[in-house]
Structure 1
Amino acid sequence: MTAERCLLLKHGELFLKGANRPAFARRLVRNVRAALPPECGRVRAEARNGFTVLYPERGPEALAAGMRDIAGVSVIDVALRVDKTAEAFGPAALAELRRRFGQRLRDTPRSFAVVVRRRDKTFPLTSAQLAARLGAELQAATGWPVNLGEPEVTVSVEIDRHEAFVSAERLRGLGGLPVGSSGTALVLLSGGFDSPVAAHRAMRRGLRCEFIHFSGAPYTDPSSTYKAYALVRELTRFQPRARLWVAPLGPAQRTLASSADPALRTIAQRRLMVRIGEELAGRVGAEALVMGDSLGQVASQTVSNIASVDEACALPVLRPLLGWDKEEIITEARRIGTAEISALPDEDCCRLLAPPRPAVRSDPRILARAERRAGVDELVGQTLDRLQEHLVSIADRRAGLVPPAAG
């Protein structure tokens, strides 16, 4: 067998799924195929027990970088596939060390350890015997010291049924569950920091996310819509395809503002948003709404006001960031790549007709009376009739595309 460059995608949490594990693994492979970088050419994927092997035609580095954003992948080993013989492991390990650190390994000593996993228990050497043998070979060739406690470099050997994999580079994956394995949710996406991070957390728990953004059109410019599109486009790193609906909320906001106590205006608008979200969710097969609320961060996110919002919606309303503070949210936004977009200025619909002193407590019965005066069912229907739909994919992100129209 000729040595072949590959990636081992370890499934991590999928091991806990028992009899459902194959279905989760199939979902993961579909997500991997949808996110393959075009510069890697043809990529062959092979399923194993507990991991997936990818063989790229070229560009394994680009492939490894892309796979770090796939929910459900906990670890990525950059490896060589070799013959299942003890004699093949030493040359393969040295080749991997030289690829990673350069040809002159003796010039920069690094402590190392060897870890062996025998999935095929019929292999003639035990894991301990093979680790000792390979460790001695590598120490003789490199002069590096062995450190089994805290090594700078770990060389791993996995012996499978028909072949073996040798790796000297391990990357941390996103972890969690494959997108789509937990169902579908509709994210109420603003242009701020919070809701994109909430969407990412939902994706990481296996939810496929669709998005709705509420603009203040026709009373605001389209800047918030362009931001929303850019945020969804950035999130396609983690979910290769999504749909973004833009709801022009301005007329409904005007009508609702004339019917509600100014102090309750923000909560009334949020109830209107979840009503619209619930209707759209029913049309697209979403089973829950996702919001970026953080408890107590603003007046609309107190326990009382959250309860008033939830009372207007029969679907579960998920709030992945409820216990996070703003600094934690912004740090996570920087990590996942949405912070720079969220920081851009825009005309946010939530600032349109915002009261000077919003209420921190609210009564759903009082809000319901204001909604009846405003004709909330008609407002929901009129807003849904004006929805704009945008399809967003990871290809758009790679090409830097913007939405064809915004309003």
Structure 2
Amino acid sequence: MTTSALGEPCVLLKLGEIVLKGKNREVFERRLIGNIRNALKELDLQVDVRQRHGVVAIFLPEGATVEQADTVAQRVADVPGLVWIHRAWRVPKDVDSVVKAGIEIVRDREEVARKATFAVRSRRRDKRFPLRSNELDRLVGGEINDLFGLPVSLKNPELTVHIEVDRDEVFVFTDGIPGQGGLPVGTSGRALVLMSGGIDSPVAAYRMMKRGLHVDFLHFSGIPFTTSESIYKAYALVRKLDRFQGRSRLWVVPFGKAQQSIRSSGQDRLAVMAQRRLMLKTAEEVAHRIRAEALVTGDALGQVASQTLQNITAQDNAVDMPILRPLVGWDKTEIMAEARRIGTLEISELPDEDCCSLLAPKRAETRAKIEDLKQIEKRLDAEELIVQLADSIQEYKL
């Protein structure tokens, strides 16, 4: 491509759900801009992030390469709140420059060699520009058609040239990267995710990030009766998820002795449910300490014995804090597909000895009664045990 005709490489970001926020929109946009800037800090590249009406433009330093623009685009594609990321060209705001850029952006495309159909889609955010959107479409499209002989298809083009006339410049681009969508992380508060080394909880954490929650992570380890493998997995999963929000924190509870106490209570069929309630109670105590407002789990209705409707109700009874279950209506195939898409599946499938392996009854209770569970907790002196467990947590910094 002739970069002189195309101008300067930049990145154009399209907002999604935020534009529907009415009078609160400014709050969401400010948080999104902050999240974008934080995500780009790791690239060690001085960029200029500017908010425009309905879009965000990222301008690179003078002399920046197309490869650097691609790197910026790939990084911000992980930031929730954006629906499309376009590696665009910033051209001067005059008709002649726009026409030349439209021609050059398709010149080396493979669609030209196979005479693919095309269309030009213009959007004129600055109404002072001398040509209307449809006039600009016809002008640039006509030049491309004359030079390269590409047939026009307005309904289903194989190649689309986008032209957006902004306040100070014009953006020209073709393809885009789908964004994460959702809301900017931090706009919905803070929550604590009960993080196992399995497939479900990382996906649940990601889904809550997309709804604007900033999440911290709490992992229950079977130490001293298991190895540290599950901690390594939890750490690796949190690192993988951190690209969506930044500043993630992982807390680990040594839970093995508490499980030993549950096992010695003699209630084999209720052991898993007693453990789940104790985990939730401990998580609630930790959440209060770190000022989180809700708990998040990877429960999916009916997936395992502890996730029947009656057992979920018994777990909700254990705490006063809201328990969010974003995967409650998903099946395992859907969860695995999402885990594969966000890059956590391969880590989750690594072998490890997690704390759940210490309590594996031959037949788990599917319709646990709350009063029976409360009796177990009374024998365990659960309230004191919860404080001890919360006091024993250790933070693993990324």
Q: Which runs of 4+ in 1 moved over 4 A?
A: 37-40
Do the aligned partners of 2:189 and 2:214 also contact (CA within 8 Å) in 1? yes
Q: 2:235 aligns with which of 222, 229, 238?
A: 229
Letter in 2 for 1:160: D
Query: Which residue does the alignment assign to 1:94?
Result: 103
Alpha-carbon separation, structure 1, partners of 2:105 and 2:231: 47
Query: Which residue does the alignment assign to 2:288?
Result: 282
Count the aligned residue pairs.
389
**Offset, 1:256:** 2.2
Letter in 1 for 2:335: I
Alpha-carbon separation, structure 2, partners of 1:348 and 1:191: 7
**Offset, 1:3:** 2.4
Q: Call closer, same or farther: CA 1:38–1:386 in 2, change over 3 Å.
A: closer
Letter in 1 for 2:49: A
Alpha-carbon separation, structure 1, partners of 2:323 and 2:148: 57
User: TM-score, normalized by length of structure 1?
Assistant: 0.92
Give the 5 Å matches for 1:326-341: 326-341=332-347
**Offset, 1:288:** 0.7
Do the aligned partners of 1:40 and 1:60 also contact (CA within 8 Å) in 2? no
Cα root mean square deviation, aligned:
1.6
**Offset, 1:351:** 1.4
Give the 5 Å matches for 1:271-350: 271-350=277-356
Q: Is residue 158 of structure 2 the alignment partner of residue 152 of structure 1?
A: yes
Do the aligned partners of 1:241 and 1:391 also contact (CA within 8 Å) in 2? no
Letter in 2 for 1:86: V
Letter in 2 for 1:185: A
Alpha-carbon separation, structure 2, partners of 1:6 and 1:140: 28
Alpha-carbon separation, structure 2, partners of 1:169 and 1:307: 47
Query: Which residue does the alignment assign to 2:56?
Result: 52
Alpha-carbon separation, structure 2, partners of 1:10 and 1:362: 48
Percent sequence identity over aligned pairs:
50
Alpha-carbon separation, structure 1, partners of 2:254 and 2:43: 39
User: Unaligned 5+ residue runs, structure 2?
Assistant: none
Letter in 1 for 2:11: L
- DSSP 3-state at the match of 2:203: helix
Letter in 1 for 2:12: L
Q: Deviations over 1:242-293 (max 9, x none)?
A: 0000001111111122225210110110001111111111111111111001
Q: Is residue 92 of structure 2 the alignment partner of residue 83 of structure 1?
A: yes
**Offset, 1:366:** 1.2
Letter in 2 for 1:376: A
Query: Which residue does the alignment assign to 1:131?
Result: 137
User: Unaligned 5+ residue runs, structure 1?
Assistant: 393-407
**Offset, 1:109:** 2.0
- DSSP 3-state at the match of 2:226: coil
Query: Which residue does the alignment assign to 1:43?
Result: 47
User: TM-score, normalized by length of structure 2?
Assistant: 0.94
Q: Is residue 36 of structure 2 the alignment partner of residue 27 of structure 1?
A: no
Letter in 1 for 2:249: R
Letter in 2 for 1:344: L
**More moved, 77-86 vs 178-187:** 77-86
Q: 1:202 aligns with which of 205, 208, 225?
A: 208
Query: Which residue does the alignment assign to 1:398?
Result: none
Q: 2:185 aligns with which of 179, 184, 187?
A: 179
Do the aligned partners of 1:299 and 1:360 also contact (CA within 8 Å) in 2? yes
Alpha-carbon separation, structure 1, partners of 2:9 and 2:245: 26
Q: Call closer, same or farther: CA 1:168–1:40 in 2, change over 3 Å.
A: farther
**Offset, 1:385:** 1.6
- DSSP 3-state at the match of 1:214: strand
Letter in 2 for 1:277: A
Q: Is residue 221 of structure 2 the alignment partner of residue 215 of structure 1?
A: yes
Do the aligned partners of 2:99 and 2:139 also contact (CA within 8 Å) in 1? no
**More moved, 106-115 vs 300-309:** 106-115
Alpha-carbon separation, structure 2, partners of 1:94 and 1:39: 32
